[in-house]
Amino acid sequence: MLKAPAESAGEAYEREIAADRLAREIGRLEGAEKGLVFGRIDWADGTALRIGRIGLHREEDDLPLLVDWRANAARPFYEATPVHPMGLRRRRHLRLEERTVVSVSDELLDGSAPTDEDVVGDGPLTEALSARRTGRMEAAVATLQAEQDEVVRSAHRGVTVVQGGPGTGKTVVALHRAAYVLYAFPRAAEEGVLVVGPNARFLDYISQVLPSLGENDVDLATCRELAGASPAAADRFDTARLKGGAELADALAGLLRAYQAPAGDFTVRVGREPVHLSDEEVATARDAAAAAVPGHNPARQVFKELLVDAVTDAMQRDMGDVLEQIDADTVAMTGLDLDRFTGAGRHRGEGAADTGPAHELDLDALRADLLDDAGLDRAVEALWPRLAPGDLVRALLTDADALAEQLPRLTAPERSLLLRGPDAPWTDADVPLLDEAASLVDGPPERTYGHVVVDEAQELTAMQWRMIVRRCPARAMTLVGDFAQAGPVATARDWKEALAPHVGPRFRLHDLTVSYRTTQEILESVRGLLARIAPEQKPTRSLRGGESPRTVTTPPDGLAAAVLRELRAQGAAHPGELLGVVCADTRVGELTARGVAHHARVVPASEARGLEFDGVLVVDPEEITAARPGGERDLYVALTRATKRLCTITVQPA
């Protein structure tokens, strides 16, 4: 298609659109190559339906060959149980490698005895859960569990919240929900679906799931990427948390108002003439401009036009006054009544807008001249300066007086944490402030979405929530997270607090209760820690048992050697398994330099959220706990990343 010559620009454009559509279709079909068919349901009467990642029809008679897993017809595959078989006799799971069937597993739902045709064995879920990890998350479309499927397939279009302990499948639900929305809600699909994750490492981890479900049109982004920012520095945690508070949004809006036609009379110089505008006239123009269009810069043109109107009125009024004076002087000097000659009595005492023909101004020409007038431009620049988002944020954060005026509820020490130098680089915590300023200064973001999915949503600050919600005008969102895993900068303690400013109490809360990642033994080993960091949270249960977690103790100077020893031992005992080493952020450099990365992925504790490995080494838990405020939650995250084996390396006190 791209080779065919295009006759015109229009044709070239159409050709590109068509090629783009075909490329996406190819992507969809190629994605389906991985496990195209994974399920089959059989009714008692012998009819059957095959279920797959996409739907396929026979060309000649439109007969369905394969039903898309999201179609209503596929529901019984996920919902039928032996207690409610929904008319099914058998549910079959197939596992394919490319085009070869490598395993088959059946569940008989109606209580009938297995025949030679049935393959009843270990469940496919057990198989999926004990499979080796690859470092990339896989779709769980063949084994979605009923409590997960209920959320994925929910008809609710507003805000759906999913909470649950580590490994309960929150990410699985979030991503399959995104795929379901694209399939079932065409309006939202047309406007686009966005998935927000906490960092690039996490997005990379989940990046394959949606393409493998045939969905290549979902945007994956961190908050930084949404704002198009790449800050070079980080703030102290207390500063970052302060910058995350919603008061900052009010402060920026308040400061912006101070830029827009501050109170007071104003004199505009038009040509050589000063034209005087009253406080009230300027304020009327300001309020009307601010209400006319969102965004300070777009409203600037409106303000300019309103100011021109005000100046025109004022000039007309002034001219009326001058002419009256001349008339009065003439009468006084000559004793003649001019009106008798001109018939233009209407301008007397009937308001400036009604000057008589003798003194008529060409208002349109005057307005046109004013719009081009340098003096007027200077007035607009003084009353309504053009701003860049960074100007506004800098104006707030570099000026102690502005901070005091706009953030009266903060204490002086808190405000001094916010104060920065004019040349200081932008930080991560500045990103939502810049985004807020961009929406105040330039208007709402151009790219918005019909549905937004947020993973690890407990991490968001109030300011980050604002930037995400701003991109979802329909407030159709799926939010998943676990407040027991919240990091040091998170500003909300629960969903109510996080969502109240945006949707009030209007959200549906679902709980996931079963951990599909960790073993029962690992969950039990963190129970005491969980009771300390989230006493109100019910511990999750696991479907699987395994080895008990181990602890290895080492002298301080033997830490890296102990890590290497343990990794070699695990590598020898369980070849091919994916190992992760989670340590305090400051320890990453040393462990990498010592060659740990040849054996395992080295992950700083601050970036471990959402990830998983077959075996995990948690290095120096005390260091992880002490590294950041709320460090026990970082430790809890680190200890819950393993699917099979957990080993903690502790350091002997010197």
Ligand X SMILES: Nc1ncnc2c1ncn2[C@@H]1O[C@H](COP(=O)(O)OP(=O)(O)OP(=O)(O)O)[C@@H](O)[C@H]1O
Binding-site ranges for ligand X (CB under 6 A)? 125, 128-129, 137, 140, 143-145, 148, 164, 166-172, 482, 516-517, 610, 612
Task: For residue 473, say whether it is annotated as part of any ligand binding site.
Answer: no
Query: What distance in Å separates the CA atoms of residue 281 and residue 160, rounded to the nearest whole number?
Result: 48
User: Please, which residue, 152 or 226, has the CB nearer to ligand X?
Assistant: 152
Q: Which amino acid is at 379?
A: A
DSSP annotation string for 211-229: HHTT---EEEE-HHHHHT-
Residue 241 CB contacts under 8 Å (≥ 6 apart), including other chains: 461, 488, 489, 491
Considering the complex, state which of residue 438 and residue 486 has its C-beta at the smaller distance from ligand X: 486
Nearest-approach distance from CB 164 to ligand X, in angstroms = 6
CA 603 to CA 608: how far, in whole Å? 6
Are 92 and 106 within 8 A, CB to CB? Answer: yes
27 is in an annotated binding site: no
Q: Give dist(CA 362, CA 372) in Å, integer.
A: 16
165 is in an annotated binding site: yes
When the beta carbons of 452 and 559 are compared against ligand X, the nearer one is: 452
Q: How many alpha carbons fall within 13 Å on the CB side of residue 185?
A: 25
Q: Is 46 labeled as ligand-binding? A: no
C-alpha 211, offset from chain centre: 19
**Residue 182 has which token pair?**
């694209």
Q: How far is the CB of 391 from ligand X (least distance, A)?
A: 39
CB of 171 vs ligand X, minimal distance in Å: 3
| Residue at 609: amino acid letter | R
Structure tokens at 184: 């079932």
Residue 261 C-beta: closest distance to ligand X, Å: 49
Residue 135 labeled ligand binder: no
Q: How far is the CB of 129 from ligand X (least distance, A)?
A: 6
170 assigned to a ligand binding site: yes
DSSP secondary structure of 535-574? TTSPPPEES---PPPEEEEE-GGGHHHHHHHHHHHHHHHS
Q: Which is nearer to ligand X, 223 or 248 (CB)?
A: 223
In the complex, minimum distance from the CB of residue 133 to ligand X, in angstroms, rounded to a whole number? 7
168 in a labelled binding site: yes
Q: Which is nearer to ligand X, 106 or 612 (CB)?
A: 612
Least distance between ligand X and beta carbon 202 (Å)? 9
Q: How far is 264 from 125, CA to CA, in rounded Å?
A: 72
Cβ within 8 Å of residue 296, ≥6 positions away? 256, 259, 260, 384, 387, 440, 441, 442
128 or 184: whose CB is closer to ligand X? 128
C-beta of 618: minimal distance to ligand X in Å? 14
At a CB cut-off of 8 Å and minimum separation 6, what does 168 contact? 512, 513, 514, 515, 516, 540
| Between 381 and 511, CB nearer to ligand X | 511
- Shortest reach from residue 140's CB to ligand X, in Å: 4
Name the residue nearer to ligand X (CB basis): 128 or 358: 128
169 is in an annotated binding site: yes
Residues 6+ apart with CB under 8 A from 614: 132, 133, 574, 577, 578, 579, 642, 643, 644, 645
Q: Which is nearer to ligand X, 171 or 316 (CB)?
A: 171
State the burial class of residue 596 (Cβ atoms within 10 Å of its Cβ: 0-12, 13-18, 19+): buried
Residues flagged as binding site? 164-171
Residues flagged as binding site for ATP? 164-171
